[in-house]
Structure 1
Amino acid sequence: MVTPKIISEFTRKTTVRATNTSIKPYTHAFSNFDLLSGRAPVTVFYAYAKPRVGDYSSMLSIIKTSLSKTLNHYFQFAGRIVSNPITNLPEILCHNQGVELIEVYAGIDLASLDFYDLKQSLDNLFVPLSDEAPLQVQVTSFTCGGFLLSWCIDHIAADATANNMFLVSWAQVARNEPISNYPDHQKLIFQPRSPSSYSPLLDQTFIKCTEEMFLNPPNTYDVSVKRLYFVEASDVVKLQELANKNGDQRTKLEAFSAYIWKLAATTLVESDTHCNMGWLVDGRARMMSKDVQNLVGNFVSMAVGKTSVEKLTQDSISEIANVAHEAISKVSNKQHFLELNDWIECHKPGMFLAKVLLGISGPAVIVTSARYFALDDMDIGFGPPVIGTVYSTIPRLGAAYVNPQPSPKGDGSLVVFAMLWPKLAEALEIDPNHVFKTITATQFPSKNLAKM
């Protein structure tokens, strides 16, 4: 599918503030785990068909009104990120400066967008996030009456779990429903231990870095191809069956990772003898406490596996899934997160990232999961979106990035957003197993497709 030339036009910018004027200004400090996230912009978008009732103006009014009410509970998102002159650490000045809501008009039908080649179809649509704003919202309208609702959040303000909490709360407010999970902004649990203590694994995995290091990764692998794929539920089941072939019980994510890892190894230059894989691990469940489940901010670590190209090409999916399982198990525990908190405390001030993200440890693929972003949760009063996914407006990454999430069909199939180097994209697409399929309109539920 070739996307018609998109003639996009900026139409208006509005500042949306929290409605509760009794909230006194304050300064929101970031936790050590927030500092580990970097300052990367993270975009999430949902595509909505033309509303059956109401017009663009009424839809926009609901979005603005519900956003302003939701900001009462996520007040720091309406602030501005600044550097503390004493500690030199970033923080948010929460004076209800507001969230910028940007309106853009795209001169094509929504159904004409190429959801497979996202770089071609979307990169020029999104307005960049400013350096100081934690959050920015954009509404892109199309000639058919459909629209994209997107928000770009500075990663230092929220990880995927916290981002999803905000979005679900926003949709519930828009539908005039009570918020199901009230956010917790306290960071007392992130106090480092005294004395600090951490294992050598932390020095092996993480590094203090600069923004320049993040934005200008090594040029060996041009991770700039942006794709959206579809994976059948039956293929997910087959991969897990292969991973469990030797009697081990491996998760769908571990099986999915093993398949990608094995293919990635076949695309490397001859001088690269090893291939890395990383997995983002949420620490909330690892702390085994309900007190941290609704924390807003970042609470993730990175598990890293490194294996030789020879082993990856020769071993079975089951054997590679075992390597993934072992790497993830090392960080999927409370002790690891306590040590990581101490490690960051000992290396402040600065920005910190996993080495695997920067590409300095060699070629790598990061696999995460957007299982949080369910389409039905994002009904803002006009029905659920047709499709939605995380996205990155960053031109190029230091490691390939693969993010599977439940598809609109709700049958166990996946929609996968990926940033890849060209040969890896080609390997996934021409593999005889045809696990990664070009996404088309046939993968959308017919009831939603008919409205596009």
Structure 2
Amino acid sequence: MKITLTSSRLVKPAYNGNPPLKPQHVPLSLFDKVACKDHVGAVYIFSPPTPSSENIIEGLSIVLSLYWELAGRLGTDDMGNTVILLNDEGARLVEASADVDLQNVLTSQPSKDIESLYPSIQGVKELAQVQITRFTCGSLLLAFTADHQVADGHAITNFLVAWSQATRGISMGSVPLHDRGILFKPRHPPLVQYEHRGVEYITKSYSTSSISCNDHQAMNVTIHKVHFTKEFTERLQAKASYGASKSYSTFETILAHLWRVITNVRCLPGHETTHIRISVNGRRRMNPKVPNEFFGNLVLWAFPHCKVRQLIAQPLQFAAELIHDAVRKVDDSYFKSFIDFSSSGVIEKEALVPRTTLNERVQSPNLEVHSWVTFPFRQMNFGTGKPDCIIPGYLSTEGELFFIPSCTGDGSIDVYVPLFLSNLDNFKKLCYALESKY
């Protein structure tokens, strides 16, 4: 496959009349500061007929007039704090063409080739980037990346839906809420009810000494896409919920199943502890609730954990209950405890840094999971229909899972599972084994 770049430009906000009154910059919130400092993205695939590049670009300039942070740059204020400069310098948009049909690129399993369909993120100053690639079959692939310090997945999906609405020339609905510096004030007096050291924050010395793998290990990782049909998931849920006082969600059930399967194929010592790092959206968990339109980061993490031998020996319901209880505990009191802790001055005093600075390329014996299942991707319609397929970036960190709603639209779930190549065959054998103890 040959990709030819045909243009690269900065798309700036197009204001209808005078620009809105806004500050010169906004500080990163406490939640922005613990988010990873990387560009995160996905690709969205549209079958022909597809919208024109001119309409997509015009829609982008319109939506940036509301989501102005994505047209800005990171900088510092007079106190040396990292801020988002609201300077309207624009988002990067690259146009490209491929010399093949899309079906020659998209295989049944993830391929590293997809990286060539993204704009480069090396040393990039733009906070949002787009690459539009057109294929000989008429299909369009839209790759989007954004700096995670600016917004979480929920907020970025709101932006993408609004962008598609602007492209179609219809109302973008609710406007984004920008008050990231006002919503998360500490309480007086503060009340730190939970331990946040080792959870959201770690010491600098731990950050620099805790490399969990070497380059050779990381090179032997492959990404395997698992397709869970609605029928299979319902059977799995019935197994997990049998005799329980509650029914476990699709996410809890599939994750519990994968946790046990992956732990088994890793052949870990029974006495070792394994945990999952699960992103938890705080918008509906905080009291009062934070509007869904809030644009920024509002995510903390749950950490269900267990000894390896116990996780494998106990039934599926045991793992589902661990996950359910851990996520439930990341509630209003936990979010407010985090705010009070992060505002107390202890971060600076103890030289703590966000846990996300670890940047581990191998998670074993643990997992990290990102669920995009509830994001309204299918509302992305740039004028010619919904996306046929959504694919996360090729992130080959062993044990870092992505849950994606299947584009079949029938309730099926796709999970992208990076594994050591040596574990792949055993994983395939156990992944759909409903009748076994795994």
**TM-score interval, normalised by the smaller of the two chains:** 0.7 to 0.9
| Corresponding position of 2:195 | 201
| Corresponding position of 1:41 | 39
Instruction: List per-residue Cα deviations over 1:327-363 (Å, max 9, x = no partner).
Output: 11221x1000001122333415875136997479862
Q: Is contact 1:66-1:174 (8 Å) kept?
A: yes
Whether 1:304 aligns to 2:303 is yes
1:83 Cα deviation after fit: 3.5
Whether 1:151 aligns to 2:136 is no
Whether 1:239 aligns to 2:269 is no
AA paired with 1:111? Q
Instruction: List per-residue Cα deviations over 1:275-328 (Å, max 9, x = no partner).
Output: 211211100010143543211010011100221111111111011111112211
**Which moved further from structure 2: 101-110 or 225-234?**
225-234
Change (3 A) 1:205 1:255: same
Whether 1:119 aligns to 2:93 is no
Secondary structure, counterpart of 1:118 in structure 2: coil
Q: Is contact 1:183-1:294 (8 Å) kept?
A: yes
> Which of 4, 7, 11 is 1:9 aligned to?
4
Secondary structure, counterpart of 1:73 in structure 2: coil
AA paired with 1:152? T
Instruction: Note the aligned Cα RMSD (angstroms).
Output: 2.9
Structure 2 length normalisation: TM-score?
Answer: 0.87
| Corresponding position of 1:165 | 158
1:260 Cα deviation after fit: 0.6
Secondary structure, counterpart of 2:66 in structure 1: coil
| Corresponding position of 1:330 | 329
Change (3 A) 1:344 1:133: farther
Change (3 A) 1:104 1:26: same
Change (3 A) 1:106 1:434: farther
1:266 Cα deviation after fit: 1.2
Instruction: List per-residue Cα deviations over 1:422-449 (Å, max 9, x = no partner).
Output: 34544432326268xxxxxxxxxxxxxx
Identity of aligned residues (%): 22
1:101 Cα deviation after fit: 0.2
Q: Is contact 2:157-2:377 (8 Å) kept?
A: no
1:131 Cα deviation after fit: 3.8
Q: Distance in 2 between matches of 1:419 and 1:233?
A: 23
Q: Is contact 1:78-1:98 (8 Å) kept?
A: yes
Q: Distance in 1 between matches of 2:431 and 2:202?
A: 41
| Corresponding position of 1:229 | 226
1:224 Cα deviation after fit: 4.3
Whether 1:59 aligns to 2:59 is no
Secondary structure, counterpart of 1:15 in structure 2: strand
Q: Distance in 2 between matches of 1:85 and 1:209?
A: 26
1:404 Cα deviation after fit: 1.9
Q: Distance in 2 between matches of 1:82 and 1:350?
A: 21
Structure 1 residues without counterparts, runs of 5 or longer: 1-5, 53-57, 436-452
| Corresponding position of 1:380 | 382
Change (3 A) 1:227 1:270: closer
> Which of 211, 218, 221 is 2:212 aligned to?
218
Q: Is contact 1:227-1:418 (8 Å) kept?
A: yes
Secondary structure, counterpart of 1:325 in structure 2: helix
AA paired with 1:257? L
Change (3 A) 1:354 1:391: same
Structure 1 length normalisation: TM-score?
Answer: 0.84
**Which moved further from structure 2: 227-236 or 348-357?**
348-357
**Which moved further from structure 2: 416-425 or 25-34?**
416-425
Change (3 A) 1:219 1:119: farther
Q: Is contact 2:201-2:352 (8 Å) kept?
A: no
Change (3 A) 1:369 1:150: same
AA paired with 1:235? F
| Corresponding position of 1:287 | 286
Change (3 A) 1:424 1:286: farther
Secondary structure, counterpart of 2:201 in structure 1: strand
| Corresponding position of 1:32 | 30
Secondary structure, counterpart of 1:388 in structure 2: strand
> Which of 362, 365, 373 is 1:363 aligned to?
365
Secondary structure, counterpart of 2:138 in structure 1: coil
| Corresponding position of 2:392 | 390
1:152 Cα deviation after fit: 0.3
AA paired with 1:385? P
Equivalent pairs, count:
420
| Corresponding position of 1:441 | none
Change (3 A) 1:76 1:172: same
Q: Distance in 2 between matches of 1:92 and 1:37?
A: 14
AA paired with 2:390? G
Whether 1:108 aligns to 2:100 is yes
Q: Distance in 1 between matches of 2:145 and 2:414?
A: 20
Q: Distance in 2 between matches of 1:248 and 1:63?
A: 49
Q: Distance in 1 between matches of 2:352 and 2:88?
A: 27
| Corresponding position of 1:447 | none
